[in-house]
Amino acid sequence: AMAALPAHDRLILSMRAIEDMSYQEIGDALELPPGTVKSRISRAREKIRRALGGNLSTFSASDKRKGGRTS
């Protein structure tokens, strides 16, 4: 599902989920306000949810450290 996303969506999701960057860090890197970063991440996650038929569990590096899992 990630491979089917536009490059900008893959990048912002990777920065958040894989590199565990904060919204502020992503915003600084991409020259975007943190609110815009949050919106774009939310939209990209929704695209993945739809591609997977609504079955998506988000598992970021921060979730792993806490032992948690969110959906």
CA dihedral 65, 39, 47, 52 (to 10 degrees): 30
pLDDT digits (tens), the chain, 71 positions: 889 999 999 999 999 999 999 999 999 999 999 999 999 999 999 999 998 886 656 544 554 454 444 44
Residue 25 Ramachandran class (φ > 0 left, ψ -120 to 50 alpha, else beta)? alpha
pTM over 0.85: no
